DNA sequence: TGCTAAAACGAACGTTCGTGCTATTCTTCG
DNA sequence: CGAAGAATAGCACGAACGTTCGTTTTAGCA
């Protein structure tokens, strides 16, 4: 009972700390100090550093889904939902949902060269995220609101790339217009692929 | 004399190790073992870990410029050079010039949340790199080979984003077609902005 | 209220970290 | 060839790392 609450508190802090210092830079002693508890007491909740890392990744995934993906999925399916996902991500970036910038962007680039379960966990979350974007794209195509010739995987790749670029520009370069630039890029791309009712009529007339 | 050679040898290995384990994960003991020399002997070349990190960043910058930027700058100024830079970067990614993927992408995401000279050094290199792309874009506009309405900073942001996306897809997801996807994205974008001789004629006639 | 199990603690383990010293081995050049 | 100086090794340090252990505190229920 009590343990679960503590565990959650630990992970909430762990997620932010890891977004700042990296999952490898995340240290049990530092984390315990931060929370005003003993190293051993904290450690007992996880049993190993790797377990702590994996649990931290899960917690980060939950926060991301709750604060970004789930709200965006409320939008009407098709083009609006695709746009909502993009807007939601950029807003998630701007709001600094994780203290040190996007947790998964940082983790992806940190662990892309280290084999093991941690790497696989991160890759799994990113795969799910990319799949969510692809699905939104495919739905927009089904609804005939988006050019059917564009491969969902290709467009998802491009959108996700812009997200990385935005995080970079925002976090490292501290550029005030990072999010605006990213939105401009995405809007141009999506608008060019969009099938508006008038275009649809024109298509039908051919 | 001898020291300089040794120092160079150390840094060559340090750069690859850091691209795998991160600049923080790069450890003096591990690096010394890898090179078959003593910790203290290696340490004497730098005086502190931070100096080692800064020197490693410089060495990485040199390798990147020599193997990627400089060859691309041989291309004819204007649109061809811009394309050459993009192709060169994607090839640099594919060839795994750094053992663990793009050193600067990894370093950017690792240090975007940690203040200090290391962070500033990385940011400086990235700033130069972005400036190089922007300059190539501006030149292509001067030569009237690229839409003058696009802001160089905006297009450079988009291109650089695709680079991050390519590195992610290549290194973490191990997708065989990562580079092809990135090239597709860049080519579409650039071709759409390109001013071909026939378009130029049409423009002149207006 | 008193008992029991869960939770947290404090101290210590062995290891590795970065960083100093001092000695020894190599380079280099007169 | 031999001396001066640079380069490297050896050893030790304090701190921090992840981890283990036995003890103490706390929470939940009879």
Quick one: pLDDT band at residue A201, thresholds 50, 70, 90? Answer: low
Report the distance separating Cα A117 and Cα A99, nearest Å. Answer: 24
Is any atom of strand D within 7 angstroms of residue A39's beta carbon?
yes
Tell me how far apart the alpha carbons of residues A204 and A196 are, in angstroms, rounded to a whole number.
12
**Secondary structure (3-state) at A194:** strand
Protein-covered nucleotides on strand D (Cβ within 7 A): 6-12, 16-22, 27-28
> In this predicted structure, what is the pLDDT of residue A206?
45
Chain B residues in contact with chain A using a Cβ-Cβ cutoff of 8 Å: 19-22, 24-25, 99-101, 105-106, 108-114, 119, 122-123, 126-127, 153-154, 157-158, 160-162, 164-169, 171-173, 181-182, 184-185
Q: How far is the CA of B115 from the C1' of D26 (A)?
A: 41
Q: Which residue of B has its CA nearest to A17?
A: B113
Query: pLDDT at residue A202 above 90?
Result: no
- Residue A199: per-residue pLDDT: 61
* Whole-number percent of chain B with pLDDT over 90: 92
Burial of B175 (0-12, 13-18, 19+ CB in 10 A): middle
pLDDT for residue A55: 97
**Span A86-106, pLDDT tens digits:** 999 999 999 999 999 999 999
Q: Residue B184: what are its φ and ψ, rounded to 5°? A: -55, -50
CA angle B76, B79, B83 (to 5 degrees): 90
pLDDT of residue A187: 98
Which residues does strand C reach (CB under 7 angstroms)?
A 1-4, 6, 32, 36-42, 44-45; B 1-2, 26-30, 39-40, 43-44, 47-50
pLDDT at residue B202 tops 80? no
Cβ A140 vs Cβ A78: under 8 Å:
yes
Q: What is the pLDDT of residues A169-183, one digit of tens each?
A: 999 999 999 999 999
CB pairs under 8 A between A and B: 132
Residue B205: pLDDT over 80: no
CA distance B69 to B97: 13
Nearest to B57 by CA among B105, B118, B13, B127: B118
In eight-state DSSP terms, residue B22 is -
Question: What's the confidence (pLDDT) of residue B172?
Answer: 98
Per-residue pLDDT tens over the stretch B55-82: 999 999 999 999 999 999 999 999 999 9
Cβ distance B103 to B19 under 8 Å? Answer: yes
pLDDT confidence band for A85 (50 / 70 / 90): very high
What is the overall mean pLDDT for chain A? 95
Q: How confident is the model at residue B196 (pLDDT cuts 50, 70, 90)?
A: confident
Q: Which residues of B touch A184 (CB under 8 A)?
A: 154
- Residue to mutate among B157, B159, B193, with most A CBs inside 10 A, is B157
Residues 6+ apart with CB under 8 A from A206: none
List residues of A whose CB lies inside 8 A of any B CB: 19-22, 24-25, 99-101, 105-106, 108-114, 119, 122-123, 126-127, 153-154, 157-158, 160-162, 164-169, 171-173, 181-182, 184-185
Quick: pLDDT tens for B98-154: 999 999 999 999 999 999 999 999 999 999 999 999 999 999 999 999 999 999 999
Model pLDDT for residues A7-22, shown as the tens digit of each residue: 999 999 999 999 999 9
Q: How far apart are CA B31 and CA B6, in angstroms?
A: 13
Q: What are phi and psi of A52, to 5 degrees?
A: -60, -45
Q: Is the CB of B206 under 7 A from strand D?
A: no
Cβ-based contacts of B160 with chain A (< 8 Å):
165, 168
**pLDDT class for A2, splitting at 50, 70, 90?**
confident
Chain B neighbors of A111, CB-CB under 8 A: 172
Comparing alpha-carbon positions, the chain B residue that sits nearest to A178 is: B157
Which nucleotide is nearest, taking the CA of residue B3 and each C1'? D7
Q: Is the CB of B41 under 7 A from strand D?
A: yes
Q: Is residue A124 helix, strand or coil? A: helix
pLDDT at A1: 74
Q: Identify the pLDDT of residue A197.
A: 76
Closest residue, CA to C1' of D7: B3
Q: A-chain residues within 8 Å CB-CB of B193?
A: none
Report the C-alpha gap between A125 and A13 in whole angstroms.
20
CB contact at 8 A, A111 and A87: no
pLDDT given for residue B206 in this prediction: 45
For A28-55, the pLDDT digits (tens) are 999 999 999 999 999 999 999 999 999 9
pLDDT at A3: 66
Rounded distance between C-alpha atoms, residue A83 and residue A75, angstroms: 9
Query: Distance (Å) from the C-alpha of residue B144 to the closest C-alpha of chain A?
Result: 22
């Amino acid at each position: 009972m009590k343990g679960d609450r503590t565990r959650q508190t630990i992970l909430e802090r762990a997620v932010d700390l890891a977004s700042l210092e990296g999952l490898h830079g995340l240290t049990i002693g530092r984390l315990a100090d931060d929370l005003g508890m003993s190293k051993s007491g904290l450690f007992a909740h996880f049993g190993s550093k790797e377990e702590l890392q994996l649990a931290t990744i899960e917690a980060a995934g939950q926060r991301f889904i709750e604060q970004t993906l789930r709200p965006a999925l409320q939008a009407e399916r098709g083009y609006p939902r695709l746009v909502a996902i993009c807007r939601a991500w950029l807003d998630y970036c701007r709001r600094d949902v994780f203290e040190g910038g996007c947790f998964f962007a940082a983790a992806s680039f940190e662990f892309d060269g280290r084999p093991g379960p941690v790497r696989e966990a991160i890759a799994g979350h990113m795969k799910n995220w990319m799949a969510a974007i692809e699905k939104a794209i495919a739905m927009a195509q089904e609804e005939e609101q988006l050019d059917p010739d564009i491969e969902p995987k290709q467009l998802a790749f491009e959108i996700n790339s812009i997200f990385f670029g935005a995080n970079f520009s925002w976090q490292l370069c501290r550029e005030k217009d990072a999010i605006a630039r990213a939105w401009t890029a995405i809007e141009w791309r999506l608008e060019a692929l969009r099938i508006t009712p008038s275009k649809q009529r024109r298509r039908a007339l051919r």
